[in-house]
Amino acid sequence: MLWLYVLPCVLLLAILVVLGYAAYIHYQHVKYSHLPGPKLKGFFVGGSDFLDEIGKGELTLAEAVYNMHKEYGRVIKMFFFHAHFISVIDPMAAKTLLMNNEFAKPLYVYQGFQKVFGQRFLGYGLVSETDTTKWERHRKIFNPAFHRKYLMELMHVFNDSSDRLIQYLSIKADGKTEVSLMDAFGRLTLDVIGKAGFAMGDDMVFNDTPFTDALGTAFEAMSRQGREIFLFMNPRYSAFKYRSKARKAIQLLRKTGEDIIRQRIEDQKQGKDLPKDILSFIIKEAIVEENFSIEEMVDEFVTFFGAGQETTANLLSFTLLCLGQNPEVLKKVLQEVDTIVGQKEVLEYEDIAKMEYLMLVLKETLRLYPPLFGTARYLHCKMEIAGYDMPVGTTIFFTNYAMSRAEDYFKNPLTFDPERFRRDEDK
């Protein structure tokens, strides 16, 4: 007869939990009621009509958010269950929040980078560290790696990998074979980051290795985990198999990184000549920081591969697409490259700065097709953004895909016009 007492208690508890959760969602709705945004699809789930097309595969999230900004202005709000999504397209706010280290990267966004299906992935590397004090210390050590002087020393890697790409494409250039240039650029940037970052000897332009396969699988899984929020607990066998494949791919990446790091530490102990690459910065970070574990070094290894490879490959792919769609621009780029590079076998660092028009083309491509469509920061204090009061505890998303397509900031924003960066009005 015990159940006669237990059952009502369980039911009562369940009702109280649901009521408590509903009250919390209501509180969130009230807290942000002053912000514009589309109508919710449901009280509990949140969502909006704008997002339906993403589910059907007709729009990307970036495009859906862009459409919402077109309709509602510089600030939009949405909810997913109790979580708020506030996107802002305001350059002043972007400058204030992104250039001030005290605004942290919000954990609920970046934990999707730290772990994928429970497996440590980018961990607590530069991209996904949400503790501002730790991030700042690590960033100071890495700052020289982002400096021009450091890149100047890597010209031989860029030249060598580019030669390999040309060789790779020449073999296929029989006038019949179709080549995915997106794939080819992915090979190129993988080769560059492998060599410039970690002195990896493998030729990754020509060869598909278990490492290159694992990289693709792991990053696709990270992205799917963000898009399909219930995938991590989907009980279907196919979902279980997918999660297991993703975890194994990440383990392979991290094990490769660990082996390279241990070997470098060993070489250092033996007083061998060490290459000047990103790995040297990682080892230096470990020396400066006490208690910096191998796991944390592996975090940085995976982070630099992740941050540097697909982003640059996508920029190259989109640039080519824009050039294909704009023959006049292509003609000018070719003229400039012919004048500055001509028959030269090896490019000098100084040559790059001379290709001013190409630089405008890259900027214009980044404006229309940013490889990362946005980023987010956490407000630990109240702030007015684009005329709206933002309460403490708000996570602000900067959707640069939408900001750089807004008429408020760019004339004829959808036109591919590299020269706009030379004109004052669009600066």
Query: Does position 399 bind ligand HEM by CB under 6 A?
Result: no
Among the listed residues 315, 329, 379, 390, the single contact to ligand HEM using CB under 6 A: 315
How open is the CA angle 201-216-299, to the nearest 5 degrees?
70
Give the neighbor-by-neighbor strand order of the sheet with 395-398.
75-80, 83-88, 395-398, 375-378
Taking the complex as a whole, the smallest distance from the CB of residue 23 to ligand HEM amounts, in Å, to 33
**Binding residue (CB under 6 A) for ligand HEM from 371, 383, 421, 426:** 371
127 is an interface residue for ligand HEM by CB under 6 A: yes
Q: Is 73 in the site for ligand HEM (CB under 6 A)?
A: no
Q: Among 51, 65, 126, 141, indicate the residue that binds ligand HEM (CB under 6 A).
A: 126
Task: Examine residue 319 and tell whether it contacts ligand HEM (CB under 6 A).
Answer: no
**Cβ-Cβ contacts under 8 Å for 264 (sequence gap 6 or more):** 274, 279, 283
Does the footprint of ligand HEM cover residue 375 (CB under 6 A)? yes
Interatomic CA distance for residues 251 and 63, integer angstroms = 33
For the chain, the residue count is 427
Helices 327-340 and 294-325 pack at an angle, to 10 degrees, of 120
Q: Which pair of tokens denotes residue 282?
A: 């990682």
Token digits of residue 343: 């028959």
The contact mask relative to ligand HEM for 324-363 (x = CB under 6 A, - = no) is ----------------------------------------
Interacting span for ligand HEM (CB under 6 A) from 329-337, 347-355, 368-376, 408-416:
368-376
| Closest residue by beta carbon to ligand HEM | 308
Q: How many residues bind ligand HEM (CB under 6 A)?
A: 14
Got the DSSP string for 367-408? HHS-SS--EEEE-SS-EEETTEEE-TTPEEEE-HHHHTT-TT
Show the CA angle centred on residue 80, arms to residues 76 and 83, nearest 5°: 85
**Backbone dihedral angles phi then psi of residue 375, each to the nearest 5 degrees:** -150, 175
Which tokens belong to 178? 């179709």
87, burial (CB in 10 Å: exposed 0-12, middle 13-18, buried 19+): buried
Nearer to ligand HEM among residue 18 and residue 372 (C-beta): 372
The piece of 8-16, 46-54, 306-314, 404-412 that touches ligand HEM (CB under 6 A) is 306-314
Residue 372 binding ligand HEM, by CB under 6 A: yes
- Smallest separation, CB 129 to ligand HEM (Å): 8
Q: How far is the CB of 138 from ligand HEM (least distance, A)?
A: 8
Q: Which two tokens stand for residue 373?
A: 């469509």
Residue 204 within binding range of ligand HEM, rule CB under 6 A: no
Q: Which is nearer to ligand HEM, 28 or 311 (CB)?
A: 311
Residue among 46 and 90 whose Cβ is closer to ligand HEM = 90
Selected from 63, 162, 311, 349, the binder of ligand HEM by CB under 6 A is: 311
Based on CB atoms, which residue is closest to ligand HEM, 251 or 375? Answer: 375
139 touching ligand HEM, by CB under 6 A: yes
Nearest to 224 by CA among 197, 200, 246, 254: 246
Query: Can you give the binding site for ligand HEM, defined by CB under 6 A?
Result: 126-127, 139, 193, 303-304, 307-308, 311-312, 315, 371-372, 375
